[in-house]
Chains A and B, each alone.
Chain A
Amino acid sequence: MTHSRPRRQLTRRSLLRSTAALGATAAILPSKIWAQEPEKPSELIVRAWGGSWVESLKAGVSDPFTEMTGIRIRHDLTEDNEIQPKIWAAAAQGRVPPIHINWDTTTNATKSALRGVTEDLSDLPNLANATELAKPVGFDGYPMVNTYGYVYVLAYRPEAFPDGPPASWRHLLDPKFKGRIALYNDGIGFHFPAQVAGGGTLADIPSNMTACWDFVEEMKAQEPLLGEDPDFTTWFQNGEIDAACTISTNAREARMNGVDIQWTVPEEGAKFDTDGMWIPVGLPENELYWAKQYINFALTQQAQQVWLDGLGLPGVVPGLTPPADLVDDASYPTQPEDFKNLIRISGQIQVENESEWFSKFKAIMQG
């Protein structure tokens, strides 16, 4: 799928071709070579999530990029869901978009790609060194680049599970956990393991998810709390919950804040997904070029190692070493066998069915 504007693409490609010889080293070029590049904007605006997320990005990507290029990076902490309509509106009205780079979930980015508001990133030199994980599923080119993966683990307070880690998602149905469980308020991360825990198969997704909804109904009886990323960390810290289906980064952040918390991937599996970066259409040519260089730099081993150490997530370039606390951790898959128990469904299937799944989950939980 292409989203480019032919009039501009020739110029952009010619610009990139001119630097192609520099290959993967483009991201660490000395300033005198950068001086031959298109005019530098005074700043680039990168949408990001707050807290440890933006701090990690700043340390691993933004600050080193500024140091190399002199371009200041401004982080826009508008929620990913809320920046999306603004970008879409800007594209529809032919305006310059409000940000240069959107750090986004792959699912959200896929929606924007399907709508045709993303620039093609196929010609980033550092993609040559990236793993298969960097490639968005279901597209010919690269309307976005996946930058790391993450797992929706079952995070738990060990004192609530004295017999050891819960081996199954069904353990959460124990009456003693009534009102002590948390899920995302749109059910994200929980649908696929619920499909297995409810007795169904992953092959039936999306055509027959009765098993998933049966299990969600069972879970509803446990009166779970429904929230978003920051809520999980807060709820664990305040002793409101004993277990949650959440991204491992949130559980790790709570643990770093002194909360006794562990996580596991139960036997039914856990959802594996990716986040990525993309560039909205409508930027001036020179800003588009430097936005691409930012993403290109984010794909270097140097940047990924620091950025993703902060998040505790596996990246998309070879040679990264996991943080000491995540060596052999189920939430940090590095080898093919590590993915055996992780569930990965294509972004397009998720995007096409998200609304229906969301409505069904809401109907059960609001009922």
Chain B
Amino acid sequence: MDGLEWAVDRLWPRTLSRLTPWLMVLPAILLVGLLVLGLIQIADASLRTLDRSTFLMSDSWSDANYARALSDPVYAKILWRSLSGAVIVTAITLFFAFPYAYLMVRTPRAWLRKLLLIALFLPFFIGQVVRAYGWLIILGNQGIVNDMLGLVGVAPLRLLYNYPAVVFGLVQYMLPFAVLMLAPALTAIPEETEAAAGSLGANWGRTLVHVLLPMARPGLVGAGLVVMTLTLTDFAMPAILGGGSQDFIANAIYDQFFRTSDQGLGSALALMLVGLGSLIVGAIFMLFGAGTLAMGGRSK
């Protein structure tokens, strides 16, 4: 930042100094502008229908793609599966991420903190697809889990290619994100606060419910938002662990763009996904504030 200010001092005319803040945010504006341009193009495509005799998009606009997306039961089913999946994955992920993050920031043992950090960051070096394929090996009919079950006389179980398998894969994928979002919020809670609660007679459970969770709310909200939006838009886990019958919205969008070549319907579904995600995020902001995503600003 100092370097940037130094460069501005020398290169930016002093007469324009009141515009300096705008200069600082110019890269961000350009980035967002590019995204908006892309969205405008997608919006334009979503209003054009595909002529299957020429595979060209129509010259005129219509709401046919939106009407189809809203009236076809398969999209309602997929939408519901994506939404419920996002809620379930967020809840389970936060349930596991909280104790992990708490232990990581509170443990007095350096080796344990390092171990937890390594375990946290290791998955980031392995892509989502590779991790999903890893689960295919572990949970497959001839995988490690079924091998172990076989040792105690249990016949192979179908652990893959169903909704629970998708949720499981997503939780495992989202856990590091949630821990990373929660850790700063927990670090900001003074340990003395917990000690004070204990000295006033609160047991561990009451301290958790009445002290820790309320004070960690910004972190929980931030982590929840990140996990929920990432889950809502996920493609790989439903595709790989769902066995083709557990599609999320992103899979339906892919199908329209790349299987049926219907970019209009694909664009309509994509915009509806963006709209839905924005609505959810907006509703959470209104109800709970922006959490740690507010970057230190006051949360509600």
Question: Which of A79, A185, A352, A358 meets B244, CB within 8 Å?
Answer: A185
Q: Is the CB–CB distance between B140 and A240 below 8 Å?
A: yes
Q: Known contacts A239-B142, A355-B52; is A365 also within 8 Å of B244 by CB?
A: yes
Q: With an 8 A cutoff between CB atoms, is A59 at the interface? A: no
Q: Does B56 contact A (CB under 8 A)?
A: yes
| Known interface pairs A352-B52, A363-B73; A82-B244 also in contact (CB < 8 Å) | no
Identity of the chain B residue whose Cβ is nearest the Cβ of A367 in the assembled complex: B77
Which B residues from 203 to 250 make CB contacts under 8 A with A? 243-247
Contact with A along B241-264 (1 / 0, CB 8 A): 001111100000001011111110
Given A114-B53, A116-B54, A363-B74, the answer on whether A355 and B245 have CB atoms closer than 8 Å is no
A167 to B160, CA, bound (A): 30
- The answer, yes or no, to whether A42 is at the interface (CB within 8 Å) is no
B158 at the interface (CB under 8 A from A): yes
A54-87 contacts to B (CB < 8 Å): 79, 81-82, 84-85
Q: Give the residue of B50, B56, B161, B263 whose beta carbon is less than 8 angstroms from that of A85.
A: B263
In the complex, A179 has a CB within 8 A of chain B: yes
Given contacts A84-B258, A225-B244, A238-B141, is CB(A359)–CB(B74) below 8 Å? Answer: yes
Cα separation A362 to B260 with both chains bound (whole Å): 12
B116 interfacial contact with A, CB 8 Å = no
The answer to whether A214 has its CB under 8 Å from any CB of chain B is no
In the complex, are the beta carbons of A354 and B260 less than 8 A apart?
yes
Q: How far is the CA of A234 from the CA of B257 in the complex (A)?
A: 26
Are A227 and B260 touching (Cβ within 8 A)?
Answer: no
Most chain B C-beta atoms within 10 Å of own C-beta, residue among A114, A358, A359, A362: A362
Known: A115-B56, A225-B243, A226-B245. A367 touches B257 (CB 8 A): no
Q: Cα distance A84–B246 when bound, in Å? A: 26
Whether B245 and A84, one on each chain, are in contact in the complex, defined by CB atoms closer than 8 angstroms, is: no
Judged by a CB distance under 8 angstroms, whether B111 is at the interface is no
Query: Interface 1/0s, chain B 30-67, versus A by CB < 8 A?
Result: 00000000000000000000101111100000000000
Cβ < 8 Å to A, chain B residues 254-299? 255, 257-263
Chain B residues with CB under 8 A of A226: 243-245
Closest to A358 in B: B260
Q: A84-B258, A359-B74, A367-B77 are in contact. Are A227 and B244 (CB under 8 A)?
A: yes
Chain A, residue nearest B146 (CB): A239
Most A C-beta atoms less than 10 A away, residue of B53, B54, B55, B136 = B55
- Tell me, yes or no, whether B180 is within 8 Å of chain A by CB: no
For A239, list chain B residues within 8 Å (CB).
Answer: 141-142
- Give the one of A84, A355, A367 with max B CB within 10 A: A355
Given contacts A114-B53, A227-B243, contact A186 B74 (CB under 8 A): no
CB-defined contacts of A170 to chain B, threshold 8 Å: none
Chain B residues, CB < 8 A from A367:
73-74, 77
Give the residues in chain A near B262, CB-CB below 8 Å: 355
CB-CB under 8 A from A111, the residues of chain B are 55, 261
CB contact under 8 A between A114 and B259, given known A225-B244, A239-B142: no
Contacts of B92 in A (CB 8 A): none
Interface residue B87 (Cβ < 8 Å from any Cβ of A):
no
Instruction: Determine whether B117 belongs to the interface, using a CB cutoff of 8 Å to chain A.
Output: no
Complexed CA–CA distance, A224 and B141 (Å) = 15
Whether B72 lies near A359 (C-beta < 8 A) is: yes
Task: Tell me whether B8 is interfacial, beta carbon within 8 Å.
Answer: no
Q: How far is the CA of A359 from the CA of B136 in the complex (A)?
A: 28
In this assembly, does B105 line the interface, its C-beta being within 8 Å of a C-beta of chain A? no
| CB of B91 closer than 8 Å to a CB of A | no
**B residues in contact with A359, CB < 8 Å:** 72, 74
B145 at the A/B interface (Cβ < 8 Å)? no
**Considering only CB atoms, which chain A residue lies closest to B256 in the complex?**
A355
Q: When each residue 87-118 of chain A gets 1 if its CB lies under 8 Å from chain B and 0 otherwise, what string results?
A: 00000000000000000000000011011100
How close is A140's CB to chain B, nearest CB, in angstroms?
16
Which of chain A's residues have a CB closer than 8 A to the CB of B55?
111-112, 114-115
Judge whether A366 is part of the interface by a CB distance below 8 angstroms: yes
Q: Which residues of B contact A114 (CB under 8 A)?
A: 53-55
Q: Which chain A residue lies CB-closest to B262?
A: A355
Most B CB within 10 A of own CB, among A112, A179, A240: A240
Interface centre among B78, B244, B260, B263 (most CB of A within 10 A): B244
Interface residues as binary, A190-216 with B (CB distance below 8 Å gives 1, 0 otherwise): 000000000000000000000000000
Cα distance A352–B263 when bound, in Å?
16
Chain B residues with CB under 8 Å of A365's CB are 244-245
Given A114-B55, A116-B54, A227-B243: A362 in contact with B141 (beta carbons within 8 A)? no
Check A358 against B141 for contact (C-beta < 8 Å).
Answer: no
A179 to B244, CA, bound (A): 12
Query: Would you call A28 an interface residue if the criterion is a C-beta within 8 Å of the partner chain's C-beta atoms?
Result: no
* In the complex, chain B residues 125-168 whose Cβ is within 8 Å of any chain A Cβ: 136, 140-142, 158, 160-161
**Which single member of A85, A115, A185, A362 contacts B258 (CB below 8 Å)?**
A85
Taken together as a complex, chains A and B put the C-alpha atoms of A284 and B232 apart, in Å, by: 44
- Measured between beta carbons, the chain A residues less than 8 angstroms from B160 are 240
Q: Does A137 contact B (CB under 8 A)?
A: no
Instruction: Output the least CB separation between B155 and chain A (Å).
Output: 13
- A84-B258, A238-B140, A239-B141 given; A366·B243 CB < 8 A: no
Q: How far is the CB of B72 from chain A (nearest CB, A)?
A: 7
Q: A82 to B261, alpha carbons, bound, how many Å?
A: 10
Q: 3 nearest interchain CB pairs? A: A226-B244, A185-B244, A81-B258
A-B contacts, 24 of them at CB < 8 A, read A81-B258, A81-B259, A84-B258, A85-B261, A114-B53, A114-B55, A115-B55, A224-B245, A225-B244, A227-B244, A238-B140, A238-B142, A239-B142, A240-B141, A351-B52, A352-B52, A352-B53, A355-B260, A358-B255, A359-B72, A366-B245, A366-B246, A366-B247, A367-B77
A115-B55, A225-B245 known, 8 other contacts, Cβ within 8 Å? A81-B259, A114-B53, A114-B54, A179-B161, A224-B245, A225-B161, A355-B262, A358-B260
